[in-house]
Amino acid sequence: MLKVPKGMTLVVGLGISGRAICRHLSRQGVPYMVADTRAVPPGVDDFHAAHPGVEMHCGPLTSLDLSEVEEVVLSPGIGPSTPGLAELAGRVREATGDPLVVGEIALFVRACRAPIAAITGSNAKSTVTTLLGEMAREAGRRVAVGGNLGTPALDLLHDEPHADCYVLELSSFQLETTPRLGAETAAFLNLSEDHLDRHGDMAGYRAAKLAIFRGARHGVVNAEDPMTWPLERLPAQDRFTTRAPQAGEWGIAIHAGGDWLMHGDTPLMPVAEMRLAGRHNHANALAALAMGRHLALPMDAMCRVLRRFTGLTHRGEVVAEVDGVRWVNDSKGTNVGAALAAIAGLGPTLDGQLILLAGGMGKGADFSPLAEPLARYGREAILFGLDAERLQKALRGAVRMTLVEDLEMAMARAQAIAEPGDCVLLSPACASLDQFANYQERGEVFRRWVCRLASEDSP
């Protein structure tokens, strides 16, 4: 058994975040070694070239003696209950009293000297993170954006050390190993079934997400989803809703003959002026506005961003409108909650009906929640991939359905049946690995097909 020397930090996991942890510890002058549960992690030679002399252990963590380790820092992909680590649960560092096992964000919090704005949720966190970052830039702030999205948080400290604010997307994996985030403003957008293989059940998943509020000075929660509400009282809190807001809430109400984004009874801007489509994206905008207001960002600057922001690629992205039919790429909708948000968000805004393209690897999910909104808004569900028949069974009686072999056949079917005012929505509610390398490839296939369709339609 290999003994980790006394006073040595152990970094577990050699992925993107693990390497960022190593770079950070090297800059800090902290002695460390690395462990990876894989026998031959990708990029080992590159790691040794970048960090000569750093010892590496590959294989089960149970073959390490951690009795005198200074601290264990986990990459997000490594759970605290991994064999070899579980016995360290509850132990603290003698010098500081901090937990012995932490993650990358705990190191970030120790070193960060600027306010943190943090966003989590089962869905839409990338959109809100990006929106808030753009709003801060529009207001003239020096802002650094990353975390689970884009640049790892620890690299942001090095790349943008003089930022006025750090805007971080944080996953449940990152939050469960963060003892105290201490965010200036923290948002929990929504909660739906996901990552139960890691967290055990919905209670465990929610508990990990709620860690975003530890030490927060301001919270933003979903008024329509009590599972996002913190268990403890925060110094300040805002709520957003897609309904007419109560006093102090952020919501949507009729004003001057149309739907407006509102703060209480104060109108902010017409929903029709937003480039983002769907009620779910209107909710995302409201969450970003609530966080931005706490950060003292001018409302006119934030609304300018909402008037031009078209969304992130593969996340509710409006690719084109052809013959009065809107084609929306939501390939990142890899779980039922994401697809549900897209269907329920877009449905009420359409003059026509929704044509859903769904299917892939369902990961054992319960698809039945999709039935009710599809019964209300759907023209047809076109199903493809490994779990198409499971989807068909869950949606039976709710909407007309067609099973096809792959995504391209699904798009051809959608084109054949779509009518002006309709929306063709790729929001698969499934992972893509049965037919694609990842959700990005699936989304690119959709985008290219629709762009060809649009070019053929052009005069």
Q: According to the model, what pLDDT value does residue 458 have?
A: 64
Q: What is the pLDDT of residue 418?
A: 98
pLDDT for 54 beyond 70: yes
Could you tell me if 171 and 289 lie in one domain? yes
Average pLDDT over residues 179-194: 93
Q: Are residues 261 and 396 in the same domain?
A: no
**pLDDT tens, residue by residue, 412-432:** 999 999 999 999 999 999 999
CATH number at residue 210: 3.40.1190.10
Which band of pLDDT confidence, cut at 50, 70 and 90, is reported for residue 97? Answer: confident
Alpha carbon dihedral 10, 16, 22, 26, in 10-degree steps, equals: -170
Same structural domain for residues 331 and 371?
yes
Residues designated catalytic:
125, 148, 195
43 pLDDT more than 80: yes
What are 282-338's pLDDT values in tens digits? Answer: 999 999 999 999 999 999 999 999 999 988 889 888 899 999 999 999 999 999 988
CATH number at residue 68: 3.40.50.720
Same domain, residue pair 286 and 166: yes
| Residue 348 CB neighbour total at 10 angstroms | 13
199-232: per-residue pLDDT in tens? 889 999 999 999 999 999 999 999 999 999 999 9
Sign of CA dihedral 239, 242, 245, 250: positive
Strands 325-329 and 317-322: antiparallel
- pLDDT score at 325: 97
Instruction: Check residue 409 and report its DSSP letter.
Output: H
> With 70 as the cut, is the pLDDT of residue 137 above it?
yes
Question: Residues 73-102: what's their mean pLDDT?
Answer: 90
In percent, the amount of the chain with pLDDT more than 70 equals: 100
* pLDDT higher than threshold 80 for residue 195: no
Q: Is the pLDDT of residue 197 over 80?
A: no
Instruction: Look up residue 268 and give its amino acid.
Output: L
Average pLDDT over residues 70-91: 92
- Which residues lie below 8 Å from residue 235, measured CB to CB, with a gap of 6+? 216, 217, 218
379 and 270 belong to one structural domain: no
Largest CA distance in the chain: 73
| 95: pLDDT strictly greater than 80 | no
Do residue 149 and residue 280 come from a single domain?
yes
| Residue 202 neighbours by CB distance under 10 Å | 14
Domain limits for position 328: 317-457
Mind listing the pLDDT tens digit for each residue in 151-167? Answer: 999 999 999 999 999 99
pTM of the model: 0.87
Segment 385-402 shows an average pLDDT of 97
Report pLDDT for 459.
59
Per-residue pLDDT, averaged over 68-76, amounts to 95
Q: Which of 309, 329, 330 minimizes the C-alpha distance to 319?
A: 329
- Domain boundary (74, 104, 134) is at 104
Predicted pLDDT of residue 98:
87
> For residues 154 and 23, is the Cβ–Cβ distance under 8 A?
yes
Instruction: Assign 385 a pLDDT band (cuts: 50, 70, 90).
Output: very high
With residue 197 as reference, give the H or E element that holds it. Answer: helix 196-199
Question: Residue-wise over 145-166: b if at least 16 C-beta within 10 A, else e?
Answer: bbbbbbbbbbbbbeebeebebb
Residue 368 corresponds to which tokens in the numbers above?
Answer: 């039945």
Q: Are 365 and 436 in contact (CB under 8 A)?
A: no
Percentage of residues in the chain with pLDDT exceeding 90? 86
Same domain, 152 and 90: no
**Among candidate residues 308, 338, 359, the one where a domain is terminated:** 308
**115 Cα distance to chain centroid:** 21
Burial readout 356-369 (b: 16 or more C-beta within 10 A, e: otherwise): bbbbbbbbebebeb
Residue 2 and residue 24: Cα distance in Å, rounded? 25
Q: How many domains does the chain have?
A: 3
The pLDDT of residue 159 is: 96
pLDDT tens sequence across 266-283? 999 999 999 888 999 999
389 and 415 part of one domain: yes
End-of-domain residue from the set 261, 288, 308: 308
Give the C-alpha separation, 291 to 354, whole Å: 32
The three-state secondary structure class of 37 is coil
Give the closest residue to 133 by CA, choosing from 124, 123, 142.
142
183 plus 220 within the same structural domain: yes
Cα distance between residue 109 and residue 105, in whole Å: 6
Check whether residue 157 and residue 291 sit in a common domain: yes
pLDDT confidence of 442, banded at 50, 70, 90?
very high
